[in-house]
């Protein structure tokens, strides 16, 4: 690199998204304010150093050595350039001979780099290049994306609301079931307590009955046995009557059903008998007629024979 060169660090600015642009405005303004102060101080120091160098040194000498790089003078054999401050890009500070330049990147992977901080200032003023460019097409795309996201979120919200309503209905049903079960449980507890009291009363009565005389117990047993036998006999008679009535009804129903079934057959058979009788009568009549005809023929034949014999 020759002297009087201006070292420019190109900032790879890519247009951010619309969502992050509004968030980065505040941080960008703070950075620009700090960087403006830093660049003003750098420019003042550079101008002072240049004036001192022009007064005390002549540019007829060779190259000026720096800690990490060398800067050449205008009288050197290397191509010379004038010191120009590019106001079109105010983000770039110019470099003087007294300023320390950052070290070059390591040439090999094993070589270590001492300075880790990049002290190059960022843009101070907003220029047309630094402002991200957006077209109507990009804005429409972003708007359509946002609309689709809104629609998807609304659909998800509706689905969640439907699920919440279903869960509420389910919870209400479960609460109703729980209330019904609690009522049943309370009823069962009350009935169980009543049965327990009745059982206690019966136990106390049985204990009292054991203390009574055994004669009374035997009389009660005989009375109970007689009553039980009477009830059994009555039940047996009732059952026999009911069974006999049912049997009689079944027999009558079977008779009626069989009569209905065989009436048609009997009628058909009677008709067939009548037809056969008629056929027999007709045949007998025909036979009698044939016999009478044969007798007449015999008589005629006999008469003819007698006449022939007489002749």
For residue 62, is pLDDT > 60? no
Domain count, the chain: 2
Contact (CB, 8 A) for 118 and 108? no
DSSP state of 13: -
State the pLDDT at residue 45.
72
Which tokens in the block code for residue 172?
């209400």
pLDDT of residue 150: 94
Looking at the structure, tell me whether residues 54 and 172 fall in a common domain.
no
What is the distance of C-alpha 281 from the center of its chain?
94
Tell me the pLDDT band of 305, cut-offs 50, 70 and 90: confident
Q: What is the DSSP letter of 7?
A: -
Residue 23 sits in the same domain as residue 99: yes
Q: Is residue 58 predicted with pLDDT exceeding 60?
A: no
Q: Which two tokens stand for residue 297?
A: 């023929």
Which token pair is 82?
């004038």
301 or 98, higher pLDDT:
301
Residue range 122-136: average pLDDT?
66
- Same domain flag for 48 and 159: no
Residue 275 in any domain: the answer is: no
Do 216 and 158 belong to one domain?
A: yes
Question: Could you identify the residue written with the tokens 């002749």?
Answer: 311
The answer to whether 159 touches 124, Cβ cutoff 8 Å, is: no
Is the pTM value of this prediction over 0.75? no
Q: Does one domain contain both 72 and 169?
A: no
The answer to whether 102 and 118 have CB atoms below 8 angstroms apart is yes
Query: What pLDDT is stored for residue 60 in this prediction?
Result: 43
pLDDT at residue number 265: 85
Question: What's residue 34's pLDDT?
Answer: 66
Q: How confident is the model at residue 224 (pLDDT cuts 50, 70, 90)?
A: confident
More confident residue, 200 or 15: 200
162 vs 91, residue with greater confidence? 162
Residue 141, domain extent: 135-236
Closest C-alpha to 141, from 18, 22, 20, 23:
18
In sign, the C-alpha dihedral spanning 246, 247, 253, 256 is: negative
Whether the CB-CB separation of 142 and 18 falls below 8 Å is answered with yes
Compute the average pLDDT of residues 44-61.
60
Among the listed residues 39, 51, 126, 124, the one whose alpha carbon sits nearest the alpha carbon of residue 83: 51
């Amino acid at each position: 690199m020759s002297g009087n060169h201006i070292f420019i660090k190109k900032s790879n600015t890519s247009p951010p998204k619309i969502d992050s642009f509004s968030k980065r405005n505040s941080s960008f303004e703070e950075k620009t304010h700090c960087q403006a102060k830093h660049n003003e101080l750098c420019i003042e120091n550079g101008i002072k150093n240049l004036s001192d160098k022009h007064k005390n040194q002549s540019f007829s000498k060779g190259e000026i050595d720096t800690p990490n790089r060398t800067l050449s003078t205008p009288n050197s054999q290397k191509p010379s350039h004038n010191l120009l401050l590019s106001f079109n890009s105010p983000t770039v500070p110019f470099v003087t001979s007294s300023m320390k330049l950052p070290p070059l990147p390591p040439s090999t992977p094993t070589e270590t780099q001492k300075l880790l901080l990049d002290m190059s200032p960022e843009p101070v003023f907003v220029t047309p290049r630094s402002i991200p460019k957006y077209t109507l097409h990009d804005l429409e795309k972003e708007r359509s994306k946002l609309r689709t996201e809104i629609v998807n979120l609304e659909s998800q919200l509706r689905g969640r609301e439907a699920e919440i309503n279903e869960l509420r209905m389910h919870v209400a049903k479960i609460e109703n079931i729980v209330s019904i079960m609690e009522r049943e449980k309370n009823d069962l507890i009350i009935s169980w307590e009543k049965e327990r009291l009745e059982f206690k009363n019966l136990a106390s009565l049985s204990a009292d009955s054991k203390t009574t005389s055994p004669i009374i117990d035997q009389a009660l047993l005989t009375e109970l046995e007689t009553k039980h036998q009477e009830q059994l006999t009555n039940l047996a008679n009732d059952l026999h009557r009911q069974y006999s009535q049912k049997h009689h009804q079944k027999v009558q129903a079977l008779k009626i059903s069989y009569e209905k079934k065989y009436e048609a057959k009997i009628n058909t058979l009677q008709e067939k008998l009548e037809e056969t009788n008629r056929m027999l009568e007709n045949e007998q009549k025909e036979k009698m007629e044939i016999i009478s005809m044969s007798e007449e023929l015999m008589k005629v034949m006999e008469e003819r024979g007698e006449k022939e014999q007489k002749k």
